[in-house]
Amino acid sequence: MSELVRIFDTTLRDGEQSPGASMNVEEKLRVAHQLARLGVDIIEAGFAVSSPGDFDAVRRIGQEVEGPVVCSLARAIAKDIDVAWDALKGASKPRIHTFISTSDIHLKYQFKLSRDEALKRAVDMVTHAKGYVDDVEFSPMDASRTEESYLFEVLEAVIEAGATTVNIPDTVGYALPKQFGELIKGIKEKVPNIDKAVISVHCHNDLGLAVANALSAVVNGARQVECTINGIGERAGNSSLEEIVMILKTRRDLLDLDTLINTEQIIASSRLITGITGMTVQPNKAIVGANAFAHESGIHQDGLLKEKTTYEIMSPESVGLSKSTLVLGKHSGRHAFRTRLEELGYNLTDGEINKAFERFKSLADKKKEVFDEDLEAIVQDEVLSLAIPERYKIVSLTIESGTESQPHALVQLEVDGSLRRFEAVGDGAVDAAFRAIANATGTGSKLLHYAVNAITGGTDAQGEVTVRIQEREDIVIGQGAHTDIIVASARAYINALNRLEHKKKQGDMLDLF
Ligand code: KIV
Ligand code: ZN
């Protein structure tokens, strides 16, 4: 029988550190339920001490999501560990993940600690965490740039103190696959008590090597991989879960390793993360990109028609891509609608289904065919984006534009329950609408990014707009969908402004890495 590699998903912690990818508690819960359906072994639900929102997310995921181990990150500081435990104590399978840097570069310039001090802190804090829970993970941050004999000494000491998993981070994405594999081999050979802990790896993608490094580590004895859906994460991101899992599955002949992942939930998980974070996946991204299973060349199509394996090394169905993407029409009922959403990974409440169904009916009146992507946009626009408090609401929007007149927008907004009406002219219809909204809300934010995407083909397609705005340190994303792209744009801008207000209220307490 093949050995198992544990999948530790850190989409909700490291993934959420991607600029603009922050999620609120309801969104994190939705993701965590999907991760449980996907079958991950461990969910890193957040960094409990970093903000009240993160604390709440860890607490609620621990209490409400069944199946995986639920973990909170904690610096090697007693207060962090106490708060992590406070958040985790209602979970049926809790884990505390504590970390401290071990590379000279971090110790000298960032933490002003000697090697001996860092080692003592690591041991003391693993011991402290063990006072709460048996399942304790330790990470020597920047391990791939840490002097090897010191790294081995730290690992031996934390395992002696009770760490059950030792995670080796390539924090800055500097390692090369052969070198990183040899590091893991060295740990296996030279840390005397390594048989008492699982070796884990956590690779960043700064040089595009996160998946290759994690794979090389696994080949050399690592049995836990930390990864994220769509590879999101700090800077260039982390190892992508779907790539690691599908490599192990597709090349089992050579690697002889397994995971417990239900691979048919991969696409639903990927789309959920895209929908919530607004971070779209490049079309040629392995496994989950729009083109990953699209065969364009005549020779390839000919081969596929004769025998699928000529050009397909894994089937689209194995990752959860349905054969036909045409889903529903105007005569489809509520039951079919709910079933399709469930297949796409959205388990909504009755109230949410009703809202989304109303919107679906009005879209189906305008468009003959409604596709999966349309449904996802509806859920995002009508349900998920409203999981944050709406300080601003669009009451109406009227636009005049054309070749002979300067674009003009009149917007009526509800702001804190009272009506505001503002007009503006602009360089184009979207510019005029955004200026009117900015005046009505008095926002001091800056627009960093605006993108519009036709969700499906045809001129009746819904337009999906993503905006990214910034105010001081806070960067947030907003999304909106509508068959009229000016309305979609206004909805996206308002969604971003509401998220910004929410973020300011939540106030992150720590700035990390
Ligand atoms: O990249 C890193 O080193 C981390 C650690 C906290 C595991 O995210
Ligand atoms: Zn990281």
* Angle at CA of residue 73, ends 32 and 89, nearest 5°: 70
pLDDT score of 103: 98
CA-to-CA dists, residue 5 to 41, 201, 218, 266, angstroms: 9, 11, 8, 17
pLDDT in tens, 383-418: 766 567 889 999 999 999 998 899 999 999 999 989
Residue nearest to atom 1 of ligand 1 (CA): 171
For ligand 2, a single-atom ion, the residues with CB < 5 A are: 14
Residue nearest to atom 3 of ligand 1 (CA): 171
Of 16-25, 124-133, 160-169, minimum mean pLDDT range: 16-25
Q: Which amino acid is at 424?
A: A
pLDDT score of 442: 94
Homologous superfamily (CATH) for 390-506: Alpha-isopropylmalate synthase LeuA, regulatory domain (3.30.160.270)
Nearest-ligand number for the alpha carbon of 227? 2
364 or 72: which carries more pLDDT confidence?
Answer: 72
Contacts of 48 (CB under 8 A, 6+ apart): 54, 55, 58, 59, 72, 73, 74, 80, 83, 84, 86, 87, 88
Average pLDDT over residues 370-378: 79
In 3D, which of 108, 62, 105, 54 has the Cα closest to residue 83? Answer: 54
CA-to-CA dists, residue 2 to 24, 253, 261, angstroms: 38, 10, 14
Residue nearest to atom 4 of ligand 1 (CA): 171
Nearest-ligand number for the alpha carbon of 140? 1
Going from the Cα of 443 to the center of ligand 2, the distance in angstroms, rounded, reads: 33
pLDDT score of 389: 82
Where do the domains of the chain lie? 3-277, 295-323, 325-387, 390-506
Shared fold status for 3-277 and 390-506: no
DSSP β-ladder status, 165-170 and 136-141: parallel
Of 233-242, 333-342, 499-508, minimum mean pLDDT range: 499-508
Phi-psi category of 252—alpha, beta or left, where left has phi over 0 and alpha has psi -120 to 50? alpha
pLDDT score of 481: 85
Nearest-ligand number for the alpha carbon of 170? 1
In 3D, which of 353, 400, 415, 389 has the Cα closest to residue 495? Answer: 389
Going from the Cα of 106 to the center of ligand 1, the distance in angstroms, rounded, reads: 13
Of 11-20, 52-61, 72-81, 335-344, minimum mean pLDDT range: 335-344
Class of domain 3-277: alpha beta
Nearest-ligand number for the alpha carbon of 99? 1
Cβ–Cβ under 8 Å, residues 442 and 416: no
Nearest-ligand number for the alpha carbon of 144? 1
Going from the Cα of 171 to the center of ligand 2, the distance in angstroms, rounded, reads: 6
Mutate-to-test residue for ligand 1 from 8, 14, 54, 105, highest number of ligand atoms within 8 A of CB:
14
Cα gap 254→363, rounded to integer Å: 49
* Angle at CA of residue 287, ends 282 and 288, nearest 5°: 50
**Which ligand 1 atom is at minimum distance from the Cα of 172?**
1
pLDDT score of 58: 98
Going from the Cα of 426 to the center of ligand 2, the distance in angstroms, rounded, reads: 42
Per residue, the 3-state secondary structure of 116-165, as one string, reads HHHHHHHHHHHHHHHCCCCCEEEEEECHHHCCHHHHHHHHHHHHHCCCCE
**Which ligand 1 atom is at minimum distance from the Cα of 169?**
3
Cα gap 6→258, rounded to integer Å: 9
**Which ligand 1 atom is at minimum distance from the Cα of 73?**
6
Going from the Cα of 99 to the center of ligand 2, the distance in angstroms, rounded, reads: 11
Q: What are phi and psi of 72, to 5 degrees?
A: -120, 140
Strands lying side by side in the sheet with 446-454: 446-454, 463-471, 474-482
Going from the Cα of 279 to the center of ligand 1, the distance in angstroms, rounded, reads: 21
CA-to-CA dists, residue 260 to 4, 40, 136, 441, angstroms: 8, 7, 21, 48
pLDDT score of 247: 98
Average pLDDT over residues 136-164: 98
182 or 448: which carries more pLDDT confidence?
Answer: 182
How deeply is 365 buried, as exposed, middle or buried, from its count of CB atoms within 10 A (0-12, 13-18, 19+)? exposed
Residue 332, Cα to own-chain centre: how many angstroms? Answer: 32
pLDDT above 50 (res 508): no
Cα gap 321→266, rounded to integer Å: 9
DSSP output for 364-386:
HHH-S-EEHHHHHHHIIIIIGGG
Residue nearest to atom 8 of ligand 1 (CA): 14
The DSSP symbol for 292 reads T
Going from the Cα of 321 to the center of ligand 1, the distance in angstroms, rounded, reads: 32
> Is the Cα dihedral 113, 114, 119, 124 positive or negative?
negative
Kindly state the helix (H) or strand (E) to which residue 186 belongs, with its residue range: helix 177-190
Average pLDDT over residues 108-120: 97
pLDDT in tens, 275-306: 888 888 998 999 999 889 887 777 877 787 78
Cα gap 283→280, rounded to integer Å: 9
pLDDT in tens, 200-215: 999 999 999 999 999 9
Going from the Cα of 204 to the center of ligand 2, the distance in angstroms, rounded, reads: 6
462 or 431: which carries more pLDDT confidence?
Answer: 431
Going from the Cα of 393 to the center of ligand 2, the distance in angstroms, rounded, reads: 37
Place of tokens 């004895």: 221
Count of residues for the chain?
513
pLDDT score of 506: 67
Q: To the nearest whole number, what is the mean pLDDT of the chain?
A: 91
**Which ligand 1 atom is at minimum distance from the Cα of 238?**
1
pLDDT above 60 (res 512): no
CA-to-CA dists, residue 251 to 213, 245, 247, angstroms: 16, 10, 6
pLDDT score of 380: 75
pLDDT score of 421: 94
pTM for this entry = 0.82
pLDDT in tens, 301-343: 778 778 888 888 999 999 998 754 445 777 788 888 888 888 7
Of 54-68, 126-140, 222-236, 296-310, minimum mean pLDDT range: 296-310
Going from the Cα of 349 to the center of ligand 2, the distance in angstroms, rounded, reads: 34
Average pLDDT over residues 160-175: 98
Kindly indicate the confidence band of residue 511, based on its pLDDT and cuts at 50, 70 and 90. Answer: very low
Mutate-to-test residue for ligand 1 from 81, 99, 213, 235, highest number of ligand atoms within 8 A of CB:
99
Mutate-to-test residue for ligand 1 from 12, 146, 204, highest number of ligand atoms within 8 A of CB:
204
Average pLDDT over residues 130-137: 98
Cα gap 300→106, rounded to integer Å: 50
Per residue, the 3-state secondary structure of 426-482, as one string, reads CCCHHHHHHHHHHHHHCCCCEEEEEEEEECCCCCCCCEEEEEEEEECCEEEEEEEEE
Cα gap 272→275, rounded to integer Å: 5
In 3D, which of 90, 153, 85 has the Cα closest to residue 122? Answer: 153
**Which ligand 1 atom is at minimum distance from the Cα of 167?**
7
Residue nearest to atom 2 of ligand 1 (CA): 171
Going from the Cα of 233 to the center of ligand 2, the distance in angstroms, rounded, reads: 7
Going from the Cα of 278 to the center of ligand 1, the distance in angstroms, rounded, reads: 23
Which residues approach ligand 1 with their CB closer than 6 A? 14, 99, 139, 141, 167, 169, 171, 202, 204
Work out the angle between the directed axes of helices 148-160 and 115-130 (0-180°, nearest 10).
20
